[in-house]
Structures are given as C-alpha cells and as structure tokens.
C-alpha cells in the first residue's frame, strides 16, 4: 500500500533510454511503500504509462536538429539558415519552458511531493521545486559528471593511469577544455539571443541560470554544459565505471537499472534460426544523426552474408531496408527491435555504446563491439575496453573485412570470462536496493532540519 505523504517524483531526461533506466528503482520504491510519479514530455507518456506508473506530461518535447546538413538555397548560405533555425528553436523552447514551469508549480501545490529525482541536465525546470522547498537529488542515466580535473570527462576515451599522477591531470585538463570552450561560446550566443528577444531590462529575469540562482539552486558545468549541483545517484553499478573515477566523483551508484519487466512490443522470430549464434546490431534512438550509420549496417550485412551467424539489425529511421539491396535470409533488418528480448538470445552485440545499451548487454552477458559516434559513447567504449567486455571499432572506416576480424576477436574466451564476471555484479545489484536505501537516508537528512525548528 503506497503512501501519499511519501511521493517521489522522477524527472528523467526526455529520452526513452533515460526512462528505461529508472524503472527498476521506481518499482522498488513502490514495493517499499513509496508513491511514485513521473513528469514527462508528451512523446513519452505512452511508454511510461505502459509500465504502470502515474505519468504527467508537463515538460516540453525536445527540439531536435534537422537530420541532414543544409545546402545553400535561394541565396541563403547554409550557416545562416542553421543560425536562423537555431534561433527559432531556441524561442520555441523558451515558450515551452515557461508554460512547463507554470504547470509544474500548480502540480506541486496539488500533490506535495517529498523528493524530486531529476536529471541534473533538466536544471531549467527546477525553480518551482526550489520555491516550494522540495528536496532535489540528481538522477543520472549516464556517467556524465560535474567539472572535476581529477577525473576524465566521459566525452573522452581517456583511461586514467593507476594511481593517477601529474600526466593524468594534464590529460584531463586538456579534454575538459576541448569540451567546455565550445559550450561557453554557445552560452554566450544564447545570451545575446535572450538580450535581443527580451531587451536589457528583462534579460536577467529571462535568463534561466539567473532564475535558478535566485531560487537558491546551485549550478556547475559538466560535459553537456550547465547542470544542477545536487547529490547524485547514478543508474548503474559502481563496478562498470573506471575505478579512479568512481572513487573521486562523490556520487552514489544505484545498481544495474535494467528493467526486465519492461513492456515492449513482441518480436517475430520466424525468420531467425534460434539454434545458431546470433549477432544483434543497434545504434539506438539517434542513429539517424550519425553520418556513418549506413556504412556500419552495410559492413555487418556483408560480413554476415557468408557466415553461419544469424543477424538482426535495427536500422531505426537511419535507413530503409531497400537501401541495402537483396538481404540474405538469415539476416533480418527492422525499424524497431525489442532489445531486451533479442539480447536474451544474442551471442554478440554491435552497438553505438549508449549507456543504456551497455547496461542491457552486460545484464544478458553479451560481448560487445562498440562503435562510438558522439558524446558519452567514447567514454563508454573506454570502459568496455578497460573491463574487457568487448572491442572498439571505428565507424567512419569500418568495412566487411574489418568487421569479420572484430567478430572473430570478440569471441575470445577471455572476453567471455570478463563479461560473465561483470554480469554477476549486475545480477547481484538487479533490484537497485542500494538506490532505495540511499533515497531513504536522503529523505531523513532533508527532514532533520525541519523537525528541529
């Protein structure tokens, strides 16, 4: 029996993989007689609701960039067209955020939540919680972190020396500088946009950073830019991180965060011979934004064409099945694949290295070949290499011959042994009970000052 005075609210990034990472913890909280609710973007209401959770579409859907770069048209240079679109998108996001802040304020007044588990990158939506004095903790579905020169940013492929030394500090400093300098430039241009939109008198009021600060929030920079500075819970076991990073980042690790009860569409296995080893390939939600997605799919199709291995390739909206010509009958191309169901039968996972995919591959004990495309995928691939859970490939140069070699090397018994050891860790931490205990302790810590008044 859940209790309305123990309401914990989840505010993940509006991405399917971030919601998926939170479901085990949310279910476990409900078993501990907490009440759980989600604040989501409209695009994710059906998915979250299908898992049985109370869900409220109070956040705006993210505004994604166009899939393909622009070409010059009608006398307008491509760079100017991109700048114009970015300005329009920025204004649309500003309007969506203002509407969301009002809706969240009303919702808080009606529900009286006790704790907000919010992705630190969602900091622009914190003023209503801060004004209502609702405690906030970070809910991290990736390994991105606050700026700290002692640890390498997860956007890099740096594997630190053990123990760290002065070279580690210099390498980390350079990596952080390469990430943050473009972000600072982007923040400056957005500040100019705000100034143009609102004028000098209303500029400070319109600036999201200033509003959060006025409400008592603290902000720091990280790999994605500004993030909320609060206690953070990472949706993964500590063992998957780099040892020096997990010692120094001051964060808590919740557990495996792979929801085996997740409700996804069923898969049609009729074209796959389940008695033979299976290679599964997926580049995740954003495959259409990766310039070499088709190259990877083609290389894998060619590598498997004369092989006894079965193949399932999720092409998403990065390509069409007709783009690849005749496909051998033992290789299936699909727009969407229920990943957990397929990984349960897979012998090898070809992936972009998204953190959700890494966790799910490990939970099913599947060796990986990681082709990082952007952002934190480089650091995730470094962790796969460090823990010997698979291999790393280069998506920009991959061909059928290189793919065959990687597939053969990934079947090394030493890789399988390392995957089995990490899988055992994930199975021990499958319930995310450590995360539930951390939340209980955090609530007691937040309540103590109120009770002594």
pLDDT given at position 445: 85
The second-level CATH assignment, the architecture, of 278-428 is: 3-Layer(aba) Sandwich (3.40)
Query: For a pLDDT cut of 90, what percent of the chain falls above it?
Result: 67
Q: What is the mean pLDDT of residues 272-300?
A: 92
**H/E run at residue 391:** strand 390-392
Burial (CB < 10 A; 0-12, 13-18, 19+), residue 87, is middle
CA proximity to 300, closest of 408, 401, 409: 401
Q: DSSP letters of 87-122?
A: HHHHHHHHHHHHHHHHHHHHHHHHH--SEEEE-GGG
Residue whose token pair is 């199975």 = 427
Residue 117: phi and psi, rounded to 5, are -100, 105
Show Cβ contacts of residue 413 under 8 Å, excluding neighbours closer than 6 positions.
Answer: none
More confident: 204 or 244: 244
76-120 residue pLDDT tens: 666 566 656 666 666 667 777 888 899 999 999 999 999 999 999
Highest mean pLDDT among 209-213, 335-339, 423-427: 423-427
Lowest mean pLDDT segment, chosen from 57-66, 263-272, 332-341, 370-379: 57-66
Q: What is the mean pLDDT of residues 243-250?
A: 85
CA proximity to 352, closest of 400, 407, 302, 314: 314
Residues β-bridged to residue 378: none
Q: What is the mean pLDDT of residues 181-208?
A: 70
pLDDT given at position 202: 57
Q: Please give the C-alpha separations between residue 15 and each of 2, 6, 19, 31, 350, in angstroms, as whole numbers.
A: 27, 26, 7, 25, 21
Q: Do domains 4-259+430-451 and 278-428 have the same CATH topology?
A: yes
Residue whose token pair is 């970070």 = 138
Lowest mean pLDDT segment, chosen from 4-18, 122-136, 363-377: 4-18
Q: What is the mean pLDDT of residues 190-214?
A: 70
Residue 297's pLDDT band (cuts 50, 70, 90):
very high
In three-state form (DSSP H/G/I as H, E/B as E, the rest C), the secondary structure along 273-307 is: CCCCCEEEEECCCCHHHCCCHHHHHHHHHHHHHCC
CA proximity to 296, closest of 399, 372, 390: 399
Averaged pLDDT score across all residues of the chain: 88
More confident: 279 or 167: 279
pLDDT at 40 over 90: yes
Residue 128's pLDDT band (cuts 50, 70, 90):
very high
pLDDT at 444 over 50: yes
pLDDT given at position 69: 45
Among positive and negative, which fits the CA dihedral 273, 275, 279, 281?
positive
pLDDT at 225 over 80: yes
pLDDT given at position 4: 55
pLDDT given at position 325: 86
Decide: 435 and 254 in contact? Cβ < 8 Å. yes
pLDDT given at position 123: 94
Among positive and negative, which fits the CA dihedral 71, 74, 79, 85?
negative
Q: Are strands 278-282 and 35-40 parallel, antiparallel or unpaired?
A: unpaired
pLDDT given at position 163: 72
pLDDT at 207 over 80: no
User: What CATH class does 4-259+430-451 carry?
Assistant: alpha beta
132-149 residue pLDDT tens: 999 999 999 999 999 999
Domains in the chain: boundaries: 4-259+430-451, 278-428
Neighbours of 62 (CB within 10 A): 13
pLDDT given at position 83: 59
pLDDT given at position 147: 93
pLDDT given at position 2: 46
332-388 residue pLDDT tens: 999 999 999 999 999 999 999 999 999 999 999 999 999 999 999 999 999 999 999
């Amino acid at each position: 029996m859940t209790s309305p005075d123990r309401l914990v609210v989840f505010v993940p990034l509006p991405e399917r993989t971030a919601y998926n990472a939170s479901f085990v913890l949310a279910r476990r909280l409900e078993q501990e007689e907490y009440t759980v609710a989600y604040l989501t973007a409209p695009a994710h209401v059906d998915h979250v609701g299908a898992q049985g959770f109370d869900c409220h579409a109070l956040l705006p859907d993210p505004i994604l960039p166009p899939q393909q770069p622009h070409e010059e048209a009608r006398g307008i240079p491509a760079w100017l067209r991109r700048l114009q679109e970015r300005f329009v998108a920025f204004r649309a996001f500003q309007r969506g955020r203002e509407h969301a802040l009002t809706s969240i304020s009303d919702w808080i007044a009606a529900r009286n939540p006790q704790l907000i588990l919010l992705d630190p990158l969602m900091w622009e939506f914190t003023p209503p919680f801060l004004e209502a004095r609702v405690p906030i903790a970070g809910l991290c579905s990736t390994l991105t972190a606050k700026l700290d020169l002692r640890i390498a940013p997860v956007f890099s492929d740096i594997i630190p020396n053990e123990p760290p030394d002065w070279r580690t500090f210099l390498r980390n400093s350079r990596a952080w500088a390469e990430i943050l300098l473009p972000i600072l430039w982007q923040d400056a241009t957005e500040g100019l946009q705000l100034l143009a939109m609102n004028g000098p008198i209303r500029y400070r009021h319109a600036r999201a950073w200033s509003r959060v600060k006025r409400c008592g929030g603290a902000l720091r920079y990280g790999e994605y830019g500004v993030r909320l500075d609060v206690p953070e819970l990472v949706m993964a076991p500590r063992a998957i991180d780099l040892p020096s990073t997990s010692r120094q980042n001051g964060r808590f690790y919740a557990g495996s965060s792979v929801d085996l009860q997740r409700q996804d569409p069923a898969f049609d296995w009729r074209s796959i011979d389940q008695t033979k080893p299976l290679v599964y390939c997926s580049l995740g939600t954003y495959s259409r934004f990766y310039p070499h997605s088709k190259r990877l799919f083609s290389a894998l199709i060619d590598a498997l064409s004369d092989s006894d291995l079965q193949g399932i390739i999720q092409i998403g909206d990065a390509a069409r099945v007709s783009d690849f010509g005749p496909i051998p009958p033992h290789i299936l191309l699909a727009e969407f694949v229920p990943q957990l169901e397929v990984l349960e039968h897979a012998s090898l996972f070809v992936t972009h290295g998204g953190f959700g995919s890494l966790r799910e591959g490990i939970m099913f004990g599947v060796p990986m070949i990681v082709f990082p495309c952007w952002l934190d995928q480089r650091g995730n691939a470094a962790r796969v290499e460090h823990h010997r859970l698979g291999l790393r490939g280069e998506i920009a140069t991959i061909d059928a011959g290189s793919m065959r070699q990687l597939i053969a090397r990934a079947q090394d018994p030493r890789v399988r042994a390392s995957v089995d050891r990490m899988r055992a860790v994930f199975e021990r931490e499958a319930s995310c009970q450590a995360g539930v205990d951390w939340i209980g302790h955090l609530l007691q810590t937040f309540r103590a000052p109120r009770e002594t008044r």
